[in-house]
Structure 1
Amino acid sequence: MLLNLVASGRGPRSALLLHGMCGSSESWGAVTDRLIDSGYRVLAVDLPGHGFSPRDAATSVSAAADAVVETVRTGVSGPLAVAMGHSYGGSVLAAAVGRLRPTTAVYIDAGMLIRGGQNREALIEQYENDRRLRSRRGWLRRARPYYDERAIDAEVRAAERFDPATMAAVSLGDDVRWEPEPGSIVVRANPSDWVPERSAADLIHRGVHVREIPGAAHTVWYSHLHEFVDALPEVFPV
């Protein structure tokens, strides 16, 4: 399956961006700008069931990773300098990273367990309710006061295009567990519901570089863009 890929910038290095649940390639807007300014060609992908990518009510994390790899190999020449995955996109990146082989892999507030064995209809109903809320500008302004108008526009469009059945399929099989590879980078909010303190300590022990942004939201660059950029000197050199 080929996914929708939005390429921008003309730099000699490539950076791949994988968004979280109910997001889209547009969710990375401010990060994309900073990457372009730093000399990257940016490749932002819509994951299955998101944005303008195909829907797939039988998908899985591994199938989404296969689609990302196929899309990158079809549309991109040369190695990846950076690959970033946020939340669910981090799970997909972990399943694809061995084939993508980026110089730097960054996992952003990404939980390392997706519980399987869920009820399909209940999940679809839950995700549909989330989709409806996120498609309302007034709700976003109240629930995400750190969103600027550009972010609100992007997230409303993402919610309108989000397919609950595709996302529900990810949680119908076995549990999906993964761990960032040693040498990779984890950026977590502090506190974080997705990467708690104990998990962060275990990652550091395993040779993963953990960067913390106090007070950040789950989508850390929306609430703390400058701190997010400063936390990644490997990606955004001074």
Structure 2
Amino acid sequence: MSSLARIIAGPDRAPTLVLLHGITGSAISLAGAIDHWVGRGLRVVAVDARGHGLSPRWSPEQIERAGEVLVEDLVEVLEGLGPAGRSAPPGVGPVVIGHSMGAATAMVVAGRRPDLMAGVVLEDPALYGTRSPEELVARGAARERARAAEAADPAGSLARSTALPTEILPGVWAAQRTDPALLRSGVVCPEVPWRQAVEEMGVPALLVTGDGQGARVGPQGLEVMAGLNPRLEGVVIPGAGHQVRRFAPEAFYAAVDAWLERLGVAASR
């Protein structure tokens, strides 16, 4: 089994969803998503990425190749589900649902190891190649400063949080558990150009983005991506920024659940 920490919930033999958070998140900061899909009769495996939550920290050697380590970690998680986990019920493999960093990682694995998943849901993925290395390092330093400021004023951080009610406290905890070494590196996704990652996906994919401030993909980006891979469908949630699910949970779940049902992932109430 992979060394990454995770939350596992739902019936053992139900179709499996593997949930991946973004930078500074954790499995527990996906509490609302876990509740939603377990409530629909699905099995959920929510993973703490390396350097997040209760998963191992980053070594200096791993930081040097952080993007590839993210990919290797997800492959190990999916392989660790075993044949039973990939075919429970028969013919239905796990669907990987990722946000930002998690979505970008899932996108790369969907190209390299499509045998490990039945499909992938990408919530406004991080797009490698849209920012320079210097910009990424600067943004990472800003995240580290924000993490330190939250640590100095935890009560204020809770009050200012824009997370869903059940995820406010887990979200602040997750930010404090993020490995500063990863933040300082500026790495937020595998170092695979986003066009290549989209083109190489070998499984059905749903991309959910918004048209609001902060959205990484947006309507225009989604149009370009859909033209690169016929397996990719897209949904734009009006007004949503980068945190699509948190901005409009009902619209997000409606879009994803409908796609899962078309994929053959039964969601029993």
Asked if Structure 1 and Structure 2 have the same fold, meaning a TM-score greater than 0.5 normalized by the shorter chain, the answer is yes
Question: Which has more helix, going by share of residues?
Answer: 2
> Structure 1 pair 134/188, CA: closer, same or farther in 2 (3 Å)?
farther
Where does residue 5 of structure 1 map in the other structure? Answer: 6
> Structure 1 pair 29/216, CA: closer, same or farther in 2 (3 Å)?
same
Q: Which runs of 5 or more residues in structure 2 are unaligned?
A: 87-92, 262-266
Q: Which one-letter code corresponds to 2:243 in the other structure?
A: T
Where does residue 147 of structure 1 map in the other structure? Answer: 164
Instruction: Measure the CA separation in 2 of the matches of 1:134 and 1:209.
Output: 37
With the length of structure 1 as denominator, give the TM-score of the two structures.
0.85
Where does residue 138 of structure 1 map in the other structure? Answer: 156
Where does residue 163 of structure 1 map in the other structure? Answer: 179
> What is the Cα deviation at residue 224 of structure 1?
1.1
Instruction: Measure the CA separation in 2 of the matches of 1:212 and 1:224.
Output: 11
One of 96, 99, 103 as aligned partner of 1:90 = 103
Instruction: Measure the CA separation in 1 of the matches of 2:4 and 2:54.
Output: 8
> Structure 1 pair 64/175, CA: closer, same or farther in 2 (3 Å)?
closer
1:193 pairs with 2:218? no
> What is the Cα deviation at residue 95 of structure 1?
2.3
Q: Which runs of 5 or more residues in structure 1 are unaligned?
A: none
Task: Out of 29-38 and 181-190, give the one that drifted further.
Answer: 181-190
Give the SS at the match of 1:85. Answer: strand
Q: Which one-letter code corresponds to 1:142 in the other structure?
A: R
Instruction: Measure the CA separation in 1 of the matches of 2:8 and 2:191.
Output: 33
Residues 62 and 92, structure 1, Cα contact 8 Å, conserved in 2: no
With the length of structure 2 as denominator, give the TM-score of the two structures.
0.76
Give the SS at the match of 1:194. Answer: coil
Q: Cα RMSD (Å) of the superposition? A: 2.9
Question: Which has more strand, going by share of residues?
Answer: 1
Identity among equivalent pairs (%): 26
Aligned residues: 236
> What is the Cα deviation at residue 69 of structure 1?
1.5
Q: Which one-letter code corresponds to 1:160 in the other structure?
A: Q
One of 239, 252, 255 as aligned partner of 1:215 = 239
Instruction: Measure the CA separation in 1 of the matches of 2:149 and 2:164.
Output: 15
Residues 237 and 251, structure 2, Cα contact 8 Å, conserved in 1: yes
